[in-house]
Amino acid sequence: MLLTRDEMTFDFGGAKLDPTRDRDMLEWMLNQFLYGEVTGIQIGHWLYDAPDMEAARFLARQSLEEMQHVDNFLRIMGMLGCRPKPAHAAVRFLATGMMGGSWAEHVALEMAQGEGFVLQAFYAIIDTLDHKPSVDILKRAVKQEERHVEFGEQQTAKAIAGKPWLRRRILGLSLVSMWGVNRLAGFMKKRLPADHPVLRHLPAFLAHANQCAELRLRRIGVLERPLAELSRGKRAALVAEAYGGKALGGLGSLLTWPIRILPFYPKRKRLTDTYLADPHVTGFALPAPAAAEDLAET
Ligand SMILES: [Fe+2]
Ligand SMILES: [Fe+2]
């Protein structure tokens, strides 16, 4: 990976998340991660677009790993007495609705940046969650996530080599996702309890995540100089250019849109819509009180 664990680690000053006191918050958070791992099914789409055998083999292996991560989160939720519930609409949109439009967008935005962001959140849980069995599961999973991020970084560098227009498009789209993280930090500053030992650090944690995202863009070669040196106008132009290119690329789907909204047009439900009712997921779910007793015994 182009960033070390040390660079990506945020210092929570030894503050801990308590599995009993913070159960509601942990349940909410774990459900966002669970949804994120179920979106691993999208790898099937990218396997069809893989540029070479090495990339195809990587994706085939990654898809198995993401499915194992689904089980990891179900296991952690069972141990902590948390139940599988729907993810927040914004997370569903970011993870599914914003799916990349090309191989380059997928490896840059979903793998290097997106999974890089998730990896940082995993590091943060490992450092703060006061529940060793859960932390041990996450410690094994992060090794795989690190490989996914590294693959995203390498493939992004390959994709943009000799294509300055693609480099600018990836930069423009990355600026939008970093802006989203900034907005989230602003929202959290207003809403989160300022006296919670871990949660009060979240806005600063998100700012740190954005600094890491910028560093990653620079090391891949997407960003040639510090973001602070890019004027507001230049940034706006990059975003407009990126979305202009995407809009042109999406002209085909725009033309079929009137047909797709007709009532008889079949809307296929995917696993990301149905996983909560899937026997594999419901079979994992432990009744909360029993799980809480187990927890008290550990
Ligand atoms: Fe994963
Ligand atoms: Fe991953």
Give the contacts of 202 (CB within 8 A, at least 6 positions apart). 185, 188, 192
Cβ atoms of 205 and 15 within 8 Å: the answer is no
CA of 53 relative to ligand 1 center, distance in Å: 22
Confidence tier at 88 by pLDDT (50, 70, 90): confident
Confidence tier at 124 by pLDDT (50, 70, 90): very high
Give a yes or no: residue 166 inside a domain: yes
Give a yes or no: residue 38 inside a domain: yes
CA of 275 relative to ligand 2 center, distance in Å: 18
Give a yes or no: residue 256 inside a domain: no
Residues, beta carbon < 5 Å, ion ligand 1: 37, 66, 69
pLDDT tens digits, residue range 4-52? 999 999 999 999 999 999 999 899 999 999 999 999 999 999 999 999 9
Q: In this predicted structure, what is the pLDDT of residue 91?
A: 80
Q: In this predicted structure, what is the pLDDT of residue 152?
A: 97
For residue 298, pLDDT over 50 is answered with no
For residue 169, pLDDT over 90 is answered with yes
CA of 145 relative to ligand 1 center, distance in Å: 6
The predicted model gives 119-141 an average pLDDT of: 96
Give a yes or no: residue 7 inside a domain: no
194 or 134: which carries more pLDDT confidence?
134
**Structural domain that includes position 90:** 13-248+272-289
Q: In this predicted structure, what is the pLDDT of residue 83?
A: 93
Give the pTM.
Answer: 0.87
> What does each C-alpha distance from 98 to 2, 67, 114, 284 come to in angstroms?
24, 21, 11, 29
| Least-confidence region, from 22-36, 138-152, 214-228, 229-243 | 229-243
Name the domain count of the chain. 1
Q: In this predicted structure, what is the pLDDT of residue 255?
A: 59
Q: In this predicted structure, what is the pLDDT of residue 253?
A: 53
For residue 287, pLDDT over 70 is answered with no
CA of 59 relative to ligand 1 center, distance in Å: 12
CA of 246 relative to ligand 1 center, distance in Å: 27
Give a yes or no: residue 261 inside a domain: no
Name the average pLDDT for the chain.
88
CA of 66 relative to ligand 2 center, distance in Å: 6
Most confident of 147-151, 178-182, 183-187, 203-207: 147-151
Q: Which ligand is nearest to the CA of 116?
A: 2
Confidence tier at 245 by pLDDT (50, 70, 90): confident
Give a yes or no: residue 148 inside a domain: yes
Q: Which ligand is nearest to the CA of 114?
A: 2
127 or 238: which carries more pLDDT confidence?
127
Q: Which ligand is nearest to the CA of 141?
A: 1
CATH number at 85 reads 1.20.1260.10
For residue 254, pLDDT over 60 is answered with no
Cβ atoms of 160 and 221 within 8 Å: the answer is yes
The predicted model gives 85-108 an average pLDDT of: 85
Give a yes or no: residue 204 inside a domain: yes
The predicted model gives 85-113 an average pLDDT of: 86
CA of 96 relative to ligand 1 center, distance in Å: 14
CA of 141 relative to ligand 1 center, distance in Å: 7
The predicted model gives 110-120 an average pLDDT of: 93
CA of 171 relative to ligand 1 center, distance in Å: 24
Give a yes or no: residue 254 inside a domain: no
